[in-house]
Structure 1
Amino acid sequence: MSVYDITVFLVSHGPEHDGKTDLSTQTFPSDRMQILPVKEDDPLHPRKNTVLALGEARGRYTLILDQGDSFSRDFIQALFTEAQKEKSVMVMPSQTCIHVKRPREQFSLEGKDELHVSLTEIPAVFPTCLNGLLIQTSSLLQAAENCLEEAEPEKQILVSLLDSRPEFFYLGSQDFEYFFPREHDYEYCLSCLSRDWYFTPLTGFLLPLLKEQKPSLYVQCLSLYMLNTRILANLNNRNKNLISRREAAGYAELFSDVLERIDTRLILDRSCQSLTWDLPIQLMEVRLKKRDFSYYPSLSCQEDTIELSCDGVPFGTLKNIQARINLIDYRKGCLEIDGGFQDYFSSREAEIYAEFDGKTYAPVYNQRYSMTKCFGVTFYRLKTFHMSIPVPDSSRERILRFCFCTGEKTYLMDFAFPSHTSRFCKDLTYAYWRFGPYLSYWKKDGIHIQRSRKLMVLYKELRLWKQMWQLKDGMFRDQLPLKVLNFLLRPWFSRRKIWFFFDKIYKGGDSSEYLYRYSRQFRDGIHKYYLLDPSCPDYSRLQKEGLHPVRRGSLKHRLLFLNADMVIASNSTVFAFNDYTFQRSLPIRGDVHFGVSCVQHGMSVQKIAVAQNRLRDNTKLYFCASKYEIANLSKPVYDYEGYNALKLTGVPRYDGLKNQAQKILLLSPTWRMNSVLPVTKNEGVARDYNPNFKETNYYKIYNGLINDPLLLNAAKKYGYRIQYVLHPIISPQAEDFTKNEFVEIIPSTGDMSYEKIFREAALMVTDFSGVQFDFAYMRKPVVYLHHRDIPQHYEEGTFYYDTMGFGEICHTSEELVQVLCQYMERDCQMREKYKRRADDFFTFSDHKNCERIYKEMIQYQQKEV
């Protein structure tokens, strides 16, 4: 018998996962509300004890809340009123994760305040967990009795509830910000870090449910949601490395078993946000359903478009197959175009070509990196190409078009400009690009090219300024003063040669600073500038040395970036480092003309085409220290072949590496994607603190290592100190580590000096970090910890640790400690076989790397700029 109107289960997930939720401020009468506290102690199974406690509910309705959930004062009253009015078994509010930096309601239903949801047709919204739902207690308890399996008890209850009565009420006017992350919150959800989460819910809950009977529409929605959350958590560089590439094929079979029981209409539906994915993922799921990765959608010609379909279900149209222009350059009278288009059709059914000045040009296809990966395995790639299109001298206006030809009909293709170096954009229709004697701009019928005349340039510029003021809710207005000033100063800047250097920006001391220092001594007519954030200690250091770095965010910084001839960077994504998001770069794409010289932060010997392919930054020169780097970067996926970009010179910062070893053991591992929060500002700013970091194996293993009694006793016996240098991306977690008197924990921020630390340490422990090469360059011993409990994220390219590594490889902390004790006992001397490997790897050891690089850059400046 019901004693209360509502029972609230207030769930605590432990001190490291809890906020505070105060129910005393609710307008709902407290005497009609039963509040039952529940303690959950397993973050990987966050509702286990709550489900067991459901029988204690004495209210007509039940509401499960987590400590830290946030909602309005009338939240409970509003849900209860709606449940009474609609006689609903379940009421669901609008739901958003409280941790997300750019919050978005899970189903993107803003504006739909009230919605009666029927699960007999594809729903716009559906529940994925019990948290935040107001549910009729009698129905909830009956559903809970049907939970026979331990796997996914929440989802079992929801399935039982909604299969018997497939409807509920969505109250979008009530915003519910949940504290405990859910499966689709891949940045914060701890379940994503558990291997069990990828298997048991599918094999122990989902597949038995799907095989039992013809699945309801809700079960299909929930199934697709569960698959998509696992894809989302491991898409491209989010890969948690919990499923190896060898296991991926078997895991894909598990997905196929689920998908073959899901209607293709649902897979391709775009009305529900939690089921709406971009087309490559939808195509992958159709292919998995069919168990055929050679499958393409059917193509049919219409009057003004083509239509693509899968089993009669619409997949897309010609608008979804665009000529994607990543880079256009003008060299020796030709437009050099790098691009791609979506691989949604068989090359046997259609072809694509360019048309300009009465001639047609076929794309030269290549293997440049354009892959979409899941669990580290490529499941989709764009068809990438290069075109060289002559621009004969003419006063006529001409149009560059791309055409899609099926044999039956030919259609004009739409353009897309997905890169900072695309030159054009669609949002600002008066944007333009000047090259040689020409002015070019995009219109719907193609890219127009005509003679550049001062009045036309002025007209375009003035109209562009007006658009920047008017469009996109004023998002470009703050760039308008810079745009105007740059236009006025363009004649002055055009007479100056500018090299623009930077490293992390929030930290100096890397290869760009070394090359900047070396090159500025020469009177070569080139103006050289080094960029730093004024808040970092390196800024004051350089000022004291009279080097006057450029202040990040200053007007000088912005103008130099727009007018540089060469950008010299030790890290990729130069636009992001300079505060340009994809959207923010739209007004300046026709202004920038620099190429990038990569002077490297680490060695390029692993598979890193996603970050270091030629088009990532429009890289013109890439300076390497080893023949093995050249071999790796020469592979087609990097697309440097034929561009004379790869130079075997050494890297700048190695000029400062001179052995001054003291009794110091250096621990310097790289970071892991699943140990840090994603970028929320830009790459030139330190990342945010991750509250879940201490739950990761990465933390537990390295924190245990720096506090290992055997290691600390050996260090004391032999007179060694230990320095643990945190990777810059891990540095926000410095306070999480347990300190002791023998270990100094050093974040890679502030006034720390890599060069000083590397010179003075006697031995380095690392995993896959590029700093191993700094140590090996000085012929000092390196020991690797490839711990079996930390997922490996390194993909071998041309450097193989077992035959080319510079030291022993350990797979447990115990094994590592034993090796370190042996090294300390013999004064940390590098073994001869590892010295021979270092001699083979490095082409130069003469500390003249900057000299060689500077000569190459001067030659490039004279020939190409």
Structure 2
Amino acid sequence: MSKHKYLFSIIIMMNSDDVKNINYLLKTIYQENISIQALVVTDNSFEYQQLLKEIDSQYKSKISIVESESLSYTDVYKAVKDVISGKYISFVTDKMYYSDGTFSYLKTQIEKNALVVDSDIKVRCFSVTPIYVNSVGEEFAYPISNKKEELCNPLLNTNQMILYFNACFFHENVFEKISFDSSIKTEQDKDFLFKYFMNFEYYYCFSNKNLYYLDSAENEFATCMIQYEKAWYLDDAKNFLLKWTQESENFDYIRKNFIKVFTTYLLYARYNCNSNDRNKKVLNEEELEKFISLSKEILKYIPEGVILAKRARYTLNRPLKFLFIKYKCEALGYDYEILQTKNNFMISEPKGKNTFPKSYTICKIENEKVAITAMNYIDGHIVIDFRVYMVDFLNWDDINIEVHYNDKNAKLRQVDCYGLLRSFGQTIIHRKQYQVRIPVNTDAIQVEFFLRIDEDLYRLKIDYLEAAARLNYKYRFNYWRFNSEYVLFTDRSKSFFTIKRMTDKEEFFRRTTLLCQIYKRCISDKNPVELEMYKLRQEYYKLKKQYKNKRIWIMFDKLYKAGDNGEYMYHYLKEHAPDIEPYYIVNEDSVDYKRLIDAGEKNILKTNSHEARLMTLLAECILATHTNIWVYCGFTKEQQACIRDLLTAKIVCIQHGLTVQKLPSIKIDYLIIHCFIVVQVKWK
């Protein structure tokens, strides 16, 4: 490595052929007059000469293109080590970019000697905040990273751990002591970070500057690509996770604990990515058996306290905690049992055996919840779909749920839906799903949920999972007007909700109070999302009467392209249903958007546009080809919390190729779907 002539060297690994990505990354690197070296690395499969032609001319003279055997960190570093000239080095991909002012801020901090603490502490690494941006523009902070601007020591405080390698900048001297391990296939970056902390301990977190990334990390189980790599489960579980858990016994207590927390999270990520057997075809039966055997061997070294602990950055969900405890017990050859005290459930050793150092509380009954997934008003009743999770550690028959309303006990119906959630073929969640109907026939009704154990009755808290649950706890005065006379609203105790007869005048007061609450939060939190939803609610109320008799129907296909069921129905309704106003949602930058506009179509809505959101709120019906309906209509999770009560359109599922046999696998409990269109008439 040559003497540095730049302050920063950014190693950019090209893993796509879309030059828009790298041009935007380079824009965020060179928007300031800072001394930065950018090395663009391609492998043999990529036509880098063509890439060089397409890169924006203002950046061509500032970058160097380097060819590598592959895009593994081992090969990339080997290819660039002789040309790196920066003092601080970071590795990114072309699907990442920095927040405004990142490098000038970092330069200022370095010049202020912010990284020099004292002579005994050598800070050779600093980080910015990694933030994932999904396909619809939602932003999610990577969980295993620090959220404060401060000096961090993950060995002393594992909540300060950062596991997103690309957000880190390393002093050039670090690479003289630490190298990438070629025996590790998919987690060379995690291994490098791990070795950095074991050797140098400290890093500095600059949390007010961000690295945005478009390819999801291991925590995003639905979309991360590493989960489809066989080596993640076999080679790396053995050569990385198992290796370090076995060697942890040779270190002092602080490093031993750090190793076990670090490896537990990465093992958890593998199981979390396989929720509902999402990628069960990656491993064959023999390979799966080998991976589970590796898991048990790893967990043999992990204390129960690490598995069961609650952490600020991540906590294993309760079903996986029990699966891991089960694997640990099997690896060590002992058993455990669940014991009930008056208010708690405990995990403990069976009588006469000395297997656990102490008993652990796994459930405080007073904190247990029912999760309402959907509410609707049908034939004079509020129909509530809800689920209970305690099946993950109690026998099915031991759970007795009661729903009380005004001192009456409602009749429950257990819903016949698929309640299992499996990971690598192991059932980790067995949800018990119910439906209850509450008659709306008095001025005020208070609804509560209880768990009965023998003669004892415990009141359960209520959680409102999704938009179809209508309510949330974000705003104190949120409510749902479900007919012309009644509204439904939450209680601050989170243990009941109220159905109440309310005049238009009373409802107007509550509506304006809710609007004021949203506006105050906009101002205090400086949250543009809430401000946008505040304006949307106001516009909706102004237009509601005007659109009362208009039959607006919304439809879409994949947002980046049209031409499937949704577009067909759009044209069909235009031709055969003159009393319906169909609207079609598609990305503005798609080829099909231009095609439809050029063809003279007027009711084409841009994805994530204000108009698309407003028409969705005013719609009578949505013809949906995907279950993530509100996101497709332009509402992020954060936005949905502001307008749940207004999402009243009837939903008809027109998913392509849907058969009646596939219905149980659709997440219909998160939606209120009024009708399914399936492939044969006899299955209607």
- Cα distance change of structure 1 residues 260 and 63 upon mapping to structure 2, 3 Å threshold: farther
- What's the counterpart of residue 379 of structure 1? 428
- What's the counterpart of residue 564 of structure 2? 510
* 1:573–1:616 CA contact under 8 A, matched in 2: no
- What's the counterpart of residue 405 of structure 1? 452
**Displacement of 1:372:** 4.2
Structure 1 gap ranges (5+):
28-36, 631-645, 648-865
**Displacement of 1:448:** 0.8
1:115 aligns with 2:152: yes
* 1:417–1:424 CA contact under 8 A, matched in 2: yes
Query: How do residues 353-752 of structure 1 correspond to structure 2 at under 5 angstroms?
Result: 353-361=402-410, 363-369=412-418, 372-374=421-423, 378-391=427-440, 393-395=441-443, 397-407=444-454, 409-436=456-483, 437-443=485-491, 444=493, 445-471=495-521, 473=525, 474=527, 475-491=529-545, 493-495=547-549, 498-504=552-558, 507-519=561-573, 526-533=579-586, 535=588, 548-549=602-603, 551-552=605-606, 557-604=612-659, 609-610=664-665, 612-626=666-680, 647=684
Partner-residue secondary structure (3-state), 1:461:
helix
Q: How many pairs were matched up?
A: 604
Q: Which of 82, 90, 93 in structure 1 is aligned with 2:126?
A: 93
**Displacement of 1:414:** 1.6
Bigger Cα Rg: 1
Q: Which of 367, 377, 382 in structure 2 is aligned with 1:335?
A: 382
1:72 aligns with 2:103: yes
**Displacement of 1:518:** 4.1
**Displacement of 1:3:** 12
**Displacement of 1:555:** 7.1
1:269 aligns with 2:309: yes
**Displacement of 1:577:** 1.7
* 1:322–1:414 CA contact under 8 A, matched in 2: yes
CA distance in 2, matches of 1:291, 1:435: 52
More strand by share: 2
**Displacement of 1:150:** 7.2
Partner-residue secondary structure (3-state), 2:428:
strand
CA distance in 1, matches of 2:431, 2:609: 38
CA distance in 2, matches of 1:198, 1:92: 29
- How far does the alpha carbon of each residue in 1:187-217 deviate from its partner, in whole angstroms, 9 at most, with x for none? 9987554322321122234334434563611
- What's the counterpart of residue 251 of structure 1? 291
User: Which residue identity lines up with residue 91 of structure 2 in the other structure?
Assistant: D
**Displacement of 1:380:** 2.0
- Cα distance change of structure 1 residues 622 and 88 upon mapping to structure 2, 3 Å threshold: same
CA distance in 1, matches of 2:2, 2:572: 81
- What's the counterpart of residue 855 of structure 1? none
- How far does the alpha carbon of each residue in 1:608-658 deviate from its partner, in whole angstroms, 9 at most, with x for none? 755x3433442222122237xx7xxxxxxxxxxxxxxx51xxxxxxxxxxx
- Cα distance change of structure 1 residues 124 and 405 upon mapping to structure 2, 3 Å threshold: farther
**Displacement of 1:262:** 0.6
Partner-residue secondary structure (3-state), 1:262:
coil
CA distance in 2, matches of 1:541, 1:378: 47
* 1:325–1:417 CA contact under 8 A, matched in 2: yes
1:219 aligns with 2:259: yes
* 1:90–1:169 CA contact under 8 A, matched in 2: yes
- Cα distance change of structure 1 residues 315 and 88 upon mapping to structure 2, 3 Å threshold: farther
* 1:12–1:38 CA contact under 8 A, matched in 2: no
- Cα distance change of structure 1 residues 411 and 91 upon mapping to structure 2, 3 Å threshold: farther
- Cα distance change of structure 1 residues 95 and 296 upon mapping to structure 2, 3 Å threshold: farther
User: Which residue identity lines up with residue 242 of structure 1 in the other structure?
Assistant: V
- What's the counterpart of residue 288 of structure 1? 327
User: Which residue identity lines up with residue 476 of structure 1 in the other structure?
Assistant: E
- What's the counterpart of residue 702 of structure 1? none
Partner-residue secondary structure (3-state), 1:479:
helix
- How far does the alpha carbon of each residue in 1:792-849 deviate from its partner, in whole angstroms, 9 at most, with x for none? xxxxxxxxxxxxxxxxxxxxxxxxxxxxxxxxxxxxxxxxxxxxxxxxxxxxxxxxxx
**Displacement of 1:426:** 1.4
TM score, norm. by length of structure 2: 0.72
**Displacement of 1:430:** 1.9
* 1:352–1:362 CA contact under 8 A, matched in 2: no
* 1:66–1:178 CA contact under 8 A, matched in 2: no
Partner-residue secondary structure (3-state), 2:465:
coil
TM score, norm. by length of structure 1: 0.58
Structure 2 gap ranges (5+):
17-21, 37-64, 251-255, 349-357
- What's the counterpart of residue 317 of structure 1? 364
CA distance in 2, matches of 1:452, 1:272: 42
- Cα distance change of structure 1 residues 98 and 407 upon mapping to structure 2, 3 Å threshold: closer
- What's the counterpart of residue 47 of structure 1? 74
1:301 aligns with 2:356: no
- Cα distance change of structure 1 residues 381 and 6 upon mapping to structure 2, 3 Å threshold: farther
CA distance in 2, matches of 1:52, 1:570: 47
**Displacement of 1:79:** 11
Partner-residue secondary structure (3-state), 1:624:
coil
1:351 aligns with 2:395: no
* 1:66–1:180 CA contact under 8 A, matched in 2: no
CA distance in 2, matches of 1:625, 1:449: 40
- How far does the alpha carbon of each residue in 1:506-546 deviate from its partner, in whole angstroms, 9 at most, with x for none? 6444334444544555679x433232459467667667877
1:201 aligns with 2:232: no
Query: How do residues 170-209 of structure 1 correspond to structure 2 at under 5 angstroms?
Result: 170-173=203-206, 177=211, 184=218, 192-209=227-244
- How far does the alpha carbon of each residue in 1:256-308 deviate from its partner, in whole angstroms, 9 at most, with x for none? 221121112222333352x434444444433433359x988654434xxx466
* Coordinate RMSD, CA, aligned: 5.0
User: Which residue identity lines up with residue 439 of structure 1 in the other structure?
Assistant: V
- Cα distance change of structure 1 residues 569 and 169 upon mapping to structure 2, 3 Å threshold: closer
- What's the counterpart of residue 850 of structure 1? none
